[in-house]
Amino acid sequence: MADISNYDQPNDELKPCPFCGAKPVWWLVGNAERIGWKRIVVVKCPECGTEQKTSVVHLPTNQACKIAIDKWNQRIIKKN
């Protein structure tokens, strides 16, 4: 995982935006250092504005970011 201090930066682990293909950026909202505090990890496409907010409590910041990355990268494929 990229250095969690690089807020509002691209992350090589994030897949491109599912709608326009642009490289997303991410940042943390809330107390990023204290375990037990609520954190919101925001992943956003700078091109089309698609945004995902992942709220986590009682997890270290690196685990919170990993959850948000996994959630953004999840793609649903439908078969006809």
Which tens digit of pLDDT belongs to each residue from 26-47? Answer: 888 876 555 556 778 899 999 9
Instruction: Please tell me the pTM assigned to this model.
Output: 0.74
* Residue type present at position 49: G
Mean pLDDT of 50-54: 92
DSSP-assigned beta bridge partners for residue 30: 39
- Domain containing 32: what range? 1-58
Assess if residue 68 is contained within a domain.
no
User: Is the distance from CB of 15 to CB of 80 less than 8 angstroms?
Assistant: no
Total domains in the chain come to 1
Assess if residue 66 is contained within a domain.
no
Assess if residue 39 is contained within a domain.
yes
CA distance 15 to 33: 26
Q: What is the model's pLDDT at position 78?
A: 53
Q: What is the model's pLDDT at position 55?
A: 87
Assess if residue 78 is contained within a domain.
no
Assess if residue 12 is contained within a domain.
yes
Assess if residue 46 is contained within a domain.
yes
Assess if residue 77 is contained within a domain.
no
- Is pLDDT above 70 for 8? no
Q: What is the model's pLDDT at position 51?
A: 93
